[in-house]
């Protein structure tokens, strides 16, 4: 009996009973057979086969809580008991296989597995998630369905309060669900749930990290990590720089940044960048960019397109300040990051 993932969650529903979001305090990848059986003993063996997001009531939560305690899952039992006592909407999500999600609770579980660091970007099936994520008003009073917003705003004013709408989006802020160990984030609104941030990552105030994307180690992020992009350890994204996401151009090309690399301020890439590479400030390299190839002595040896250099190591991309042409040459200088910048003590 092998399952992909399990989690107990507490969430928010619209006035129509539709899930807006779900918070899973302790998602589990590859749950034990004993944990799956404990849940099935209360909800029925039907939850064992296939993928399920089952709404549970306080009585079921209490029964599952006792079953978990019997198998030494005290942590999960604690969350269950607290939510049951508070009377909040609760869901048990049990996924037998890593297949395309079919419900909002399933999507939130998969996004939280990413931000929890249990799954790497591109490590699970996220097909069709946009159609399963409702557009939500994220406010100082929590998530609110857009159709319920006017009434909630009026209710707040009638009690002498003010409802602040911070965003209207399908994705919430990551930090409202998970704060990974050993990271710094200057502006929490610029890191979406489903981002994967490795320890040693610093996201400065103008940095941005999308879902199913992130870092693999020490990184200084002052630019944009678009959906699907992974930045290797000891690499820097300079202020205002950009990485073209896998959603661009049909979503087939995976853009990545290797280790010990640098994308300069206001530069960008539409190709994968290998290890120990530099892209000069202000230069944007795409698959179709015509590039003059130079040897180590700055002698021209030919021309090529950006796509042919995708993923290649030890390259320096620059624009010739006299001719304006884009050039590439062997990079003899590895990028060395300042350790002090990545200290999160």
User: What confidence score (pLDDT) does residue 345 get?
Assistant: 45
Q: What is the pLDDT of residues 126-136, one digit of tens each?
A: 999 999 999 99
pLDDT averaged over every residue in the chain: 92
- Using an 8 Å Cβ cutoff, are 290 and 327 in contact? no
The domain covering 174-342 belongs, at the CATH homologous superfamily level, to: Hexapeptide repeat proteins (2.160.10.10)
CA distances from 255 to 37, 125, 227, 310, 330 (A): 41, 18, 9, 9, 21
Q: Among 21, 96, 106, 222, which one carries the catalytic annotation?
A: 222
Reported as a single tens digit per residue, the pLDDT across 239-276 is: 999 999 875 544 567 899 999 999 999 999 999 999 99
CATH class of 5-131: alpha beta
The tens digit of pLDDT for each residue in 285-324 reads 999 999 999 998 899 999 999 999 999 999 999 999 999 9
* CATH architecture group of domain 137-169: 2-Layer Sandwich (3.30)
Pairwise CA distance, residues 337 & 228, whole Å: 24
pLDDT value at position 247? 57
d(CA 319, CA 280): 7
* 332 contacts 296 by C-beta, under 8 angstroms: yes
Domain coordinates of the chain in residue numbers? 5-131, 137-169, 174-342
Query: Looking at residues 118-146, what average pLDDT do you find?
Result: 97
**Is residue 222 among the annotated active site residues?**
yes
C-alpha count within 13 angstroms, C-beta hemisphere, residue 90: 23
């Amino acid at each position: 009996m092998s399952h992909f993932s399990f989690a107990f969650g507490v969430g928010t529903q619209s006035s129509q009973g539709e899930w807006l979001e779900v918070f899973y305090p302790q998602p589990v990848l590859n749950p034990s057979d004993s944990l799956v059986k404990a849940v099935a003993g209360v909800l029925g063996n039907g939850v064992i086969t296939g993928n399920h997001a089952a709404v549970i009531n306080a009585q079921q939560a209490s029964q599952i809580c006792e079953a978990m305690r019997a198998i030494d899952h005290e942590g999960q039992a604690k969350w269950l008991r607290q939510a049951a006592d508070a009377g909040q909407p609760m869901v048990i999500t049990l996924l037998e296989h890593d297949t395309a999600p079919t419900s909002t609770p399933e999507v939130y579980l998969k996004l939280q597995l990413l931000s929890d660091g249990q799954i790497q970007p591109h490590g699970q099936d996220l097909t069709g998630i946009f159609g399963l994520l409702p557009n939500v008003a994220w406010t100082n009073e929590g998530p609110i369905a857009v159709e319920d917003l006017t009434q909630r705003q009026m209710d707040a004013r009638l009690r002498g309060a003010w409802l602040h709408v911070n965003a209207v989006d399908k994705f919430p802020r990551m930090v409202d669900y998970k704060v990974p160990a050993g990271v710094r984030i200057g502006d929490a609104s610029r890191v979406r749930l489903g981002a994967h941030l490795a320890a040693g990552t610093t996201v400065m105030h103008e940095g941005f990290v999308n879902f199913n994307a992130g870092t693999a180690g020490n990184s200084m992020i002052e630019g944009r990590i678009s959906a699907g992009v992974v930045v290797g350890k000891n690499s820097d994204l300079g202020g205002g720089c950009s990485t073209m996401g896998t959603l661009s151009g049909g979503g087939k090309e995976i853009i990545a940044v290797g280790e010990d690399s640098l994308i300069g301020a206001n530069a960008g890439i539409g190709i994968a960048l290998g290890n120990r590479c530099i892209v000069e400030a202000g230069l944007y390299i795409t698959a179709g960019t015509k590039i003059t190839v130079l040897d180590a002595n700055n002698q021209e040896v030919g021309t090529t397109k950006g796509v042919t250099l995708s993923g290649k190591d030890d390259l320096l991309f620059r624009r010739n300040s006299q001719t304006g042409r884009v050039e590439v040459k062997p990079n003899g200088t590895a990028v060395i990051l300042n350790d002090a910048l990545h200290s999160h003590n």
